[in-house]
Amino acid sequence: MEGNRFSFCPACGSRGIQTLHGGRKWLCPDCGFDLYSNVAAAVGLIIRNAAGEVLFERRAKEPRKGFLAFPGGFSEPDESGEEAALRECEEETGVRPLDVHYVCSFPNTYEYKGIVYKTCDMFFTAGMPENFVLKAQPGEVSSFEWRRVDSPADVEALPLAFESARNTLLRWLEVR
């Protein structure tokens, strides 16, 4: 997929803005403005219950509305991956997770409102406190589902929102 294109320079309004490096850089020859589309950092958490099932959220918005995803989201400025994982999980589930441990990372493409974002998705495992109660973040999560993920066939059967989550579950099955 080719990167994003813009019709006007955001600094001077010139129509001469050039899209370079497959849509990852823009340069205005009229005013010298240049902009790079750097990779965004995102996180996701693999959380298991006592029955060994994995927690998924049903996405309430685009992209991939209605598909399954891990609790998670984009990192904020000056935030570590672990901090983002804790914050995002608490925002989306209403529960602050415990024992967050890094698993792996995969690249992802996140298209939103006609703009293509390239991400580096970092995945973690986490536990939940005793007697936790999930509360879906309005507008982000429509519901929660606990699913068995014991084999590659289980992974392939899931309607996952993002390829990075599929790759992560396959890796997680190999190393756990």
Question: Region 45-51: what's the mean pLDDT?
Answer: 96
Find all residues with CB under 8 Å of 160, minimum gap 6, and list them: 67, 68, 69, 166, 169
Cβ distance 148 to 53 under 8 Å? yes
* pTM above threshold 0.85: yes
Quick one: which of 55, 21, 41 has its CA closest to 164? 41
**Tokens encoding 30:** 């009229």
Can you tell me the mean pLDDT for 127-143?
97
Instruction: Please give the pLDDT value at position 2.
Output: 57
Q: How far apart are the first and last CA of the chain?
A: 34
pLDDT of residue 6: 85
Q: Write the DSSP symbol of residue 158.
A: S
Mean pLDDT of all residues in 124-137? 97
pLDDT for 127 = 96
Query: What pLDDT is stored for residue 28 in this prediction?
Result: 97
The percent of residues in the chain predicted with pLDDT above 90, rounded, is 88
pLDDT digits (tens, 9 = 90+) for 69-107: 999 999 999 999 999 999 999 999 999 999 999 999 999
Mean pLDDT, the chain, as a whole number? 95
DSSP, residue by residue, 7-70: SS-TTT--TT-EEEGGGTEEE-TTT--EEE-PPEEEEEEEEB-TTSPEEEEEE-SSSSTTSEE-
* Percentage with pLDDT > 70 across the chain: 98
Average pLDDT over every residue of 99-120: 92
Write out pLDDT tens, residues 1-41.
456 788 999 999 999 999 998 888 999 999 999 999 899 99
